[in-house]
Amino acid sequence: MTPPTRLPALLLALALALPLAAQDSRPISSEKENWPPERTITMLRSLVERGFVPQLVLAWSGPEGAGSLGFGELTNGEPVDENTVFEIGSTTKVFTSLLLTLAVEEKALALDRAIGDLIGEDLAMPERTAEITLEELASHRSGLPRLPGNLVARDESRPYEHYDARLLAEEIMTGEAVGARGDYLYSNYGAGLLGWLLGRAAGTSYGELLNEKILEPLAMTSTAFEPASSWAARTAPGHNGQVPVPFWKMNALAAAGDLVSTARDVQVLLGAAMAADPSTAIGRALLEMERTRGATDGAMKVGLGWHIVEDGDLRLVWHNGGTGGFSSFMGFDRASGRSLTILSSSNAPNITGAGLNAFSLGIPSGLDDLPTPAARDWKELPAYEGRYRLPASLVIELRLKGDHLGAQVAGQSWYTLYPSEEKDVFFLAIAGARIRFLRSDEGEIVGLDWSMQGQTSQATKLEDLPPFVKLSADRLRKLEGRYELGEGLIFDVRADAGHLGIKLADQPRLDAYPVSETDFVYRVV
């Protein structure tokens, strides 16, 4: 449980197939339909009807057959269905791990191959990093951090777009592991590095390898790194809550979460996994991915690219994904013959809980108690803008995002706040948090109460920051370097467009803005 003096983290940090039927129009109250559960369909339909999610689709296979349901409409008025294109985020990691196990089946690689052997002398790596194996990268047991240390988001709506091969090579040479090898530590950097290494070992690119080994053999015709122009009429736009946002481009880290796909295509992959035949190379590769390699912090187990829940007769193999404007879930239980894909065109609320809960009532969905968003005149929202200091000097910043209020905490992405029926009360659907603004006797907003997971923290509204000054790129580059604070604590300072990105030890890199030639201020602490 999170201590009461700390703000709980906002990041919730995811041809062999049975054929899909056309968009299913059966009434959800039918007692004959037991997969997916009626509670799941009702819950997901409600997310669209209540305005949380503009477009959502679920597709499934089970003992009674396969089908799909789409909720919402695209901007051209067409209904959402199994062929609607969504960004699928971290579920890309399943594809990446399958490429690895296929390479092992072909005797091109071994799971215990050290990454230093693959890179060779081209890039001088720290010894500890060089010893990390491909298996450890695919199972998040490498000790590498969640994100590369030299990632500075120049555009918060596209945080990975500029992260190219040059920056990846730099991180390979200078970055270090932050956790113990063998311990679970979810790493987008590790997954992105794995994909880059697989392409390098095959003498090609990750994208070309993906097409050759997975997409073409399985006839996954609507999966790619970005929507093709011919798919425009069936592509769902992304939303941060209710605010439209662009698709992400992850550049050198593409293998960690860059794919777009459809519910039909994802079900093709799940069908292949469920029907995996150990007498075939792809069957053995898929089964190898499911073998457990360790456990997460709790009862969850981890395979190669998969997370695994074992509870009685249930063995749920699953992954989820979340980007700036989308969330996704895919999973299957071979014993019951059930699979499920959910794709959403909003990053909040996160639909992972609904997917897990569909397979087991014992896993809470996290969506049952969400209040319905209320209408709110956007002209009232500027009064709530500002920076609010929570305990431990943590700062939450609230700013207008289009016609909505966005909240951002300590180097994390921003998320849409939904207004409730009650005056001065908003909620954050992705984290189940409730915010009540506090006013002085004169009616001025002076703070807020942040309630989450049964705990409440009070935040004081801060005065505005001094005006930022404009410094040249050359001036900012002169300030780059590593600065020792003492007791082995190192500040790593990188120049970015108009500001500095500063990272302390293994903490997130935070932006600092100039208020003079030599003075910089954080916005988030």
Beta bridge partners of 57: 70, 343
pLDDT digits (tens, 9 = 90+) for 478-488: 999 989 887 77
The span from the CA of 133 to the CA of 510, in Å, is 30
Kindly state the DSSP code that residue 347 receives in the 8-state scheme.
S
What is the per-residue pLDDT for 27?
37
Give me the long-range contacts of 362-370 (CB less than 8 A, separation at least 24): 362/311, 363/309, 365/43, 366/432, 367/43, 367/47, 368/43, 369/432, 370/50, 370/52, 370/427, 370/429, 370/432
CB atoms inside a 10 Å sphere around CB 317: 25
pLDDT digits (tens, 9 = 90+) for 440-450: 999 999 999 99
The listed range with the strongest mean pLDDT (147-156, 219-228, 478-487) is 219-228
What is the side-by-side strand order in the sheet with 520-522?
481-486, 489-496, 499-504, 510-514, 520-522
The span from the CA of 443 to the CA of 438, in Å, is 9
* Alpha helices, H only, 125-164: 127-130, 134-138
Average the pLDDT over each of 156-160, 177-181, 276-280, 360-364 and give the range with the smallest value. 156-160
314 CA to centre of own chain: 25
CB atoms inside a 10 Å sphere around CB 429: 25
Q: Helix 263-274 crosses helix 281-290 at what angle (to 10 degrees)? A: 90
HSE (side-chain half, CA atoms, 13 Å) at 334 = 12
Average the pLDDT over each of 20-29, 221-230, 445-454 and give the range with the smallest value. 20-29
Mean pLDDT calculated for residue range 387-412: 85
The span from the CA of 161 to the CA of 10, in Å, is 22
Kindly state the DSSP code that residue 192 receives in the 8-state scheme.
H
Q: Helix 165-174 crosses helix 188-202 at what angle (to 10 degrees)? A: 110
pLDDT digits (tens, 9 = 90+) for 95-137: 999 999 999 999 999 999 999 999 988 788 888 899 999 999 9
Tokens of 477: 């580059």
pLDDT-based confidence at 410, cuts 50/70/90? low
What is the per-residue pLDDT for 1?
25
| 63 phi, psi to nearest 5 deg | -55, -30
Give the percent of the chain with pLDDT over 90.
66
What is the per-residue pLDDT for 16?
24
Q: Helix 92-105 crosses helix 188-202 at what angle (to 10 degrees)? A: 40
Of 354, 452, 266, 421, the C-alpha closest to 44 is 354
pLDDT-based confidence at 393, cuts 50/70/90? confident
- Reduced to 3 states (helix: H, G, I; strand: E, B; else coil), residue 457 is strand
Of 13, 51, 513, 30, the C-alpha closest to 239 is 51
Of 439, 438, 456, 440, the C-alpha closest to 448 is 438
* Alpha helices, H only, 161-293: 165-174, 188-202, 206-210, 263-274, 281-290
What is the per-residue pLDDT for 13?
32
- Residue 7 pLDDT exceeds 60: no
Torsion angle of the four alpha carbons 81, 83, 84, 89, in this order, in degrees rounded to the nearest 10: 120
What is the per-residue pLDDT for 408?
86
Helices (H) and strands (E) in the chain, counts: 12, 25
Burial code (b: 16+ CB inside 10 Å, e: under 16) for 349-380 equals bbbbbbbbbbbeeebebbbeebeebeebeeee
What is the per-residue pLDDT for 211?
97
190 CA to centre of own chain: 14
What is the per-residue pLDDT for 411?
64
349 CA to centre of own chain: 13
* Backbone torsion region of residue 110, taken as left when φ is above 0, otherwise alpha when ψ lies between -120 and 50, otherwise beta: beta
Query: What CA–CA distances, in Å, run from 206 to 91, 113, 201, 319?
Result: 16, 18, 10, 20
